Amino acid sequence: MSNAIEKTDVLVIGSGFGGAITAYHLAAGGAKVTVLERGPWLNSSDFEHDYKLGSSYTRAFDFVVGDGMSVLGGNCVGGGSVVYFAAMPRAPRFVFDRKGSIGRRMWPSALSRDTLDPWYDRIEESLSVTKQEWSDVSYAGGLWAAACHHAGRTANPLAVAIDNSKCANCNFMMAGCRFEAKQSLTVNYLPAAIAHGAEIRPLHEVQHLSRTAEGDYRVHYNVVDDQDYRLHHDSGVIQAKIVVMAAGAAATPVILQRSETHLGTMPHAVGRYFSGNGERLNTAVLDEDKIAEILGLTRGEGALPYGANAIGRGPTVASWDKLDGSLPEYSRYSLEQLYFPPGLGTILAQVPDATGPTWFGREKKEILRNWKSWLTIFSMTEDDNEGVFGPPPATGNAMRISQQMLGRGNLSYRPTRNTWHGWNQSDAEVKEILEKDGLAKVMPWTNDLVGAYTVHPLASCRMGDDPHTSALDDTNELRGHSGVFVTDASAVPGALTVNPAMTIAAVAERAVPHIVAAARLRGVAVNYGAPAPTGHKSGRNAVLPLLRRGVRQPAGV
């Protein structure tokens, strides 16, 4: 039987939030779970403080340039959780009532802040998400808070999934946390999944799905070189009763598009309604004297009052004054202090008041000399879900250009007037806050080079109640393809106005009982009800009664 097809109960594509959370619960419930991850498996000791190509900084990331939108995402075991900044706010209540471009509620009626809160609670418990104090805030966050206060705004330290006792404020967390302070999935859900028998295979890039006559799925993958991702060494097939797709919002729809010839017609919304979470960046070049004079901030004798762009842990403070449900759609946003490391985005920062080119040349070099006095502000607005994926590339989700990280994809994004309205309003507010009394000079990043830029791709295979504008039903199952579930950011229907990791994770947690029910229908002996990977049980105990009361009660609960 050497030619027999390998079989598993549940095949999970991707090991980020959508993959790790489902893999853990399904394995803990008794299913045979196999996880295919296209990126490498890096340990904490592999996470380097190094911008050189080939370091963990480029191995763990993917940067896919599209037509009008470029996407930065994770590419390793743990996915986005390895490279994320661990900011974990819940989405504000009004987000779930957004109508976006379709004139009706985008989220399924079964989902609201109230119904998602118990699942948020599970994530909060599992990832030790904690409210931060002012003493935890970095210089950059403190400066942003002080500027907001000076301009009559409020500002909040962000809830994060970081163990402050281990954090060195190195600002290298995008290359993986060397100090294991950041709660990546590699220190909670994934080891717990492995302990329950799940198998994780790195460097396995899924290309397409097909179906057997008996109704099982076959998942076709290539094995990618562990350093030069342009090279593929092998290929293979695994058969599963259930497929959980969690390759990320920039890859899941591409796999489904490529599968259409094998599985039959895909829902219209597969590869459409992509959202960049309405993201926009502004760079402020600060006047250090004014920081001391007007905001009263100092760092002691001999030090600049700020000069601390390099210090910290990504974002630590956000201003939420415009997260107001009474405001019209497309005018609500959060403004968050963010660290953006050299190499990935510096070229997009524009020179304020330039007389020549804004993104290169003499004047750009001058502002680079003040890099330590830069403050980056990240706007998360409401975009119009205008992204559409073109035909899939030969393999993966991009034509790879560089050995790692850089590729060209087929996502096209033409920002609508609504999206520009949000961007322009947030740009104007950042400028108003930071240019008040000459604190700084501010310019948004240019969209002219690689289009808009998102680190939080969403909605490319989204949930909803309307079959014409959503690819998944309210259980995360792909319409017309029973047994295929999508649990990553592509399931989230639209921009959230805050960092999305908490919501992506909560939606994945919520999907698990439905996947368990589907697996049991296919004869898999699996139950729902595992505690948090830490062993804590409060979150689990809170959701079990809800499931018993629910209309779509999964078997085995």
Q: Which of residues 398-417 bind other proteins (CB under 8 A)?
A: 400-404, 406, 408
Segment interacting with other proteins, rule: CB under 8 A, options 239-247, 364-372, 511-519, 533-541 = 364-372
The tokens for 294 are 């007007």
Name which of residues 233 to 292 contact other proteins (CB under 8 A): none
Segment interacting with other proteins, rule: CB under 8 A, options 145-153, 266-274, 462-470, 526-534 = 145-153
Name which of residues 449 to 478 contact other proteins (CB under 8 A): 449-450
In angstroms, the CA 185 to CA 276 distance is 23
Segment interacting with other proteins, rule: CB under 8 A, options 5-13, 53-61, 432-440, 526-534 = 53-61
Applying CB under 8 A, does 148 fall inside the site for other proteins? yes
- Residue (93 or 104) nearer to other proteins, CB: 93
DSSP 53: T
Applying CB under 8 A, does 182 fall inside the site for other proteins? no
Candidate residues 297, 354, 542, 544; the one interacting with other proteins per rule CB under 8 A? 297
The tokens for 332 are 């609500």
Q: Is the dihedral of CA 251, 411, 171, 434 positive or negative?
A: negative
Segment interacting with other proteins, rule: CB under 8 A, options 131-139, 234-242, 271-279, 541-549 = 131-139
How near is the Cβ of 226 to other proteins at its closest, in Å?
6
- Residue (171 or 470) nearer to other proteins, CB: 171
- Residue (25 or 178) nearer to other proteins, CB: 178
Applying CB under 8 A, does 127 fall inside the site for other proteins? no
386-423: buried (b, 16+ CB within 10 Å) or exposed (e) per residue? bbbbeebbebbbbebeebbbbbebbbbbebeebbbbbb
The tokens for 375 are 């403050």
Segment interacting with other proteins, rule: CB under 8 A, options 227-235, 426-434, 517-525, 534-542 = 227-235
Applying CB under 8 A, does 181 fall inside the site for other proteins? no
Name which of residues 306 to 325 contact other proteins (CB under 8 A): 307-308, 310-312, 316-317, 319-321, 323
Name which of residues 89 to 108 contact other proteins (CB under 8 A): 89-93
- Residue (169 or 239) nearer to other proteins, CB: 169
In angstroms, the CA 482 to CA 217 distance is 10
Q: Show Cβ contacts of residue 317 under 8 Å, excluding neighbours closer than 6 positions.
A: 137, 141, 142, 144, 145, 155, 156, 157, 158, 336, 337
DSSP 387: E
Q: What is the 3-state secondary structure (H, E, C) of 239-289?
A: EEEEEEECCCCCCHHHHHHHHHHHHCCCCCCCCCCEECCCEEEEEEEECHH
Applying CB under 8 A, does 136 fall inside the site for other proteins? yes
Applying CB under 8 A, does 526 fall inside the site for other proteins? no
Q: Show Cβ contacts of residue 35 under 8 Å, excluding neighbours closer than 6 positions.
A: 12, 13, 14, 15, 19, 20, 23, 193, 198, 199, 200, 201
Name which of residues 5 to 34 contact other proteins (CB under 8 A): none
> Distance of CA 81 to CAs 20, 198, 326, Å?
10, 19, 33
How near is the Cβ of 476 to other proteins at its closest, in Å?
23
How near is the Cβ of 486 to other proteins at its closest, in Å?
25
One symbol per residue from 189 to 208: x for binding other proteins (CB under 8 A), - otherwise; what is it? -------------x------
Query: Which neighbouring-strand residues pair with 255?
Result: none
Q: Which of 67, 78, 111, 90 is nearest to 500 (CA)?
A: 90
How near is the Cβ of 337 to other proteins at its closest, in Å?
11
Candidate residues 14, 29, 40, 271; the one interacting with other proteins per rule CB under 8 A? 40
- Residue (170 or 546) nearer to other proteins, CB: 170
- Residue (149 or 537) nearer to other proteins, CB: 149
- Residue (102 or 151) nearer to other proteins, CB: 151
Number of residues that bind other proteins (CB under 8 A): 98
Name which of residues 499 to 518 contact other proteins (CB under 8 A): 502
> Distance of CA 500 to CAs 36, 193, 294, Å?
23, 23, 34
Strands (DSSP E) contained in 37-181 are 61-67, 69-74, 156-157
Backbone angles phi, psi at 462, to 5 degrees: -90, 160
